[in-house]
Amino acid sequence: MRPRLLRICRHCYRYTLKDRCPTCGRPTEIAHPPRFSPDDRYLELRLKAKLDRRSAHHPVY
C-alpha cells in the first residue's frame, strides 16, 4: 500500500492519514502537492532508458 493519502497538520507538522490532526484537531492538508507526480517522472525515465538501450544495440545511420 502506497502512502498516497498521507496528510500533514501545518500547525504541529504531524503526519497523519486522517482528515483532522489527532493532536490539535485542526484540518490537515495532503502532504504532497497534486502537481507532483513521481510515477510519471519515473515512467518517462524508464522509457528514455529503454530507447537509449535500443538505439545503442541497433544504431541508426
| Sites of contact with Zn ion (CB under 5 A) | 9, 11-12, 21, 23-24
Find the shortest distance in angstroms from Cβ 9 to Zn ion.
3
CB of 11 to Zn ion, least distance (A): 4
Q: How far is residue 28's CA from residue 21's CA, in Å, rounded to a whole number?
A: 6
Nearer to Zn ion, 23 or 55 (CB): 23
48-to-44, 51, 60, 61 alpha-carbon distances in Å: 6, 5, 16, 20
Least distance to Zn ion from the beta carbon of 19, Å?
12
